[in-house]
Amino acid sequence: MNKEKFFDAMEKDIQSANIPESEKTKLMQNLLHLKEQKINLMITGATGSGKSSTINALFDMEVAKVGVGVNPETMDIAKYELDNLILWDSPGLGDGKEADNRHAKNIIKKLNELDNKGELLIDLVLVILDGSTRDLGTSYELINKVIIPNLGENKEQRILVAINQADVAMKGRYWNYEKNQPEQKLKEFLDEKAVSVKKRIKEATGVDIDPIYYSAGFKEEGEEQQKPYNLSKLLYYIVKATPEEKRLSYIDNLNEEEEMWKDDDGLKDYRAEVQQSFFTTVKEHVVKGAEIGGKIGSVFGKAGEFAGKVVGGVVGGLIGIRKKKSGGGRSSGGGGGCYITTAVCEYQNKQDDCYELTQFRKFRDEWLLNQPDGKELISEYYETAPQIVEQIEKLPNKGEVYKHINEQYLTPCLAYIENNQMLQCKKLYTEMMHNLYEEKKLWH
Ligand SMILES: Nc1nc2c(ncn2[C@@H]2O[C@H](COP(=O)(O)OP(=O)(O)O)[C@@H](O)[C@H]2O)c(=O)[nH]1
Ligand SMILES: [Mg+2]
């Protein structure tokens, strides 16, 4: 099947956007630059730890080209190419002395390889540990002696450690198969395991790594598919650790089965976080230098929806988050960029071009943007506001919450703007964001 690609959707959006040609040119240049970015992800770990299962769970492997190594020295490392996403599946240690020596040599070589720009080829190494084995000795050997010494300068930024097979970490006990999640006992066991792995690595190398645990799930002949657990958390870790410019290349290649991404520890809304990461890349690297500011959502509406469909709910609406939810009536969210004010106004049945929204947008674009910390504040706002609104929308008493926000913050802010007390307005708005962000944690 020939899928439409995310970059193509973005390109179409740019071409048909209602913005000056000069801005289109800039956006296209930025987009072309991003299109050339390749991610090289190495996945390593002991044979049987679940590398293949993990790759299959995360990515849409049907289109993967398998690179067959002809060179006996590199034959052990399998290469998969999914557009700009390149996976290197490399055995870790534990296959006997001779094989281990060869694997170590191959990994070291790969980690030191440079791309055609003279930069390190491998962006990120994901080390997979088998959570069901007690003896992680060879894995520590792999991490502490083979990988970490060969990561170059910013070691912490190039390695992730993930403990797989969380379901059978206590031989299947305390795993709730119905809910597909660990019971408290197993949770504690896994948390401790993560802490002890962290400690062992820190002691041996001084490098700080926070391992996560998950289950890649599995399918056995004649049995029901066991779904992954914390797969979205794993993806969140991977995306966050990937250089910003390269992140969009994941979008086209994620596993489209929504079921795969559903079960996780719920400590964060991982899918929303991933979505935010992609959004940040669009904002910082596609829109860079182009004067479309608040129009970002209206320009990339289609690409946003497209991304939502393509990745089976992982990315959700991406850029058009608010737009999508409102079923088309709202050009606001992305278009206007005042998520919270828009939500409040909408709740009061006010139009997108109402007096309040217009004032707030003017405040943002004509005053705040020109303040030394303005850009940063606005950028932070784009990161957090959609999440806040999304949470409020789920609350049974959202009307009360909007009313409270309006009385406590927006009305006084508007009064400040009218009196030309911009600094006070900024102060109160910032305070509101901070408070809502903190309160949001209590809403789950
Ligand atoms: N119970 C359970 N089994 C798993 C999980 N991940 C992988 N497996 C099983 O572990 C075995 C080895 O997995 P595989 O992906 O081939 O490991 P690789 O050698 O590292 O590529 C297979 O039988 C998988 O079905 C998991 O999360 N839970
Ligand atoms: Mg394998």
Strands lying side by side in the sheet with 124-130: 65-67, 78-82, 85-91, 39-45, 124-130, 159-164, 212-213
How is domain 38-258 classified at the CATH fold level?
Rossmann fold (3.40.50)
Q: Of 316, 315, 373, 363, whose CA–CA distance to 341 is shortest?
A: 363
d(CA 60, CA 81): 11
pLDDT given for residue 314 in this prediction = 39
Which residue has a Cα nearest atom 7 of ligand 1?
50
Distance 18 CA to ligand 1 centre (A): 50
Distance 56 CA to ligand 1 centre (A): 11
The 10s digit of each residue's pLDDT in 137-151 is: 999 999 999 999 999
8 A C-beta contact, residue 291 and residue 310 = no
Distance 129 CA to ligand 1 centre (A): 11
pLDDT given for residue 324 in this prediction = 30
8 A C-beta contact, residue 319 and residue 279 = yes
**Annotated domain spans of the chain:** 24-30+269-440, 38-258
8 A C-beta contact, residue 197 and residue 161 = yes
- For residue 231, which ligand has an atom nearest its CA? 1
Give the binding-site residues of ligand 1, using a 6 Å CB cut-off: 45, 47-53, 164-165, 167-168, 215-218
- For residue 226, which ligand has an atom nearest its CA? 1
pLDDT given for residue 192 in this prediction = 97
Residues of the chain with pLDDT under 50: 1-2, 67-70, 72-73, 306-336
Q: Are strands 175-176 and 181-182 parallel, antiparallel or unpaired?
A: antiparallel
pTM above 0.75, yes or no: no
Distance 209 CA to ligand 1 centre (A): 23
Query: What are the φ/ψ torsions at residue 254 (nearest 5 degrees)?
Result: -80, 150
Atom number of ligand 1 nearest to Cα 54? 15
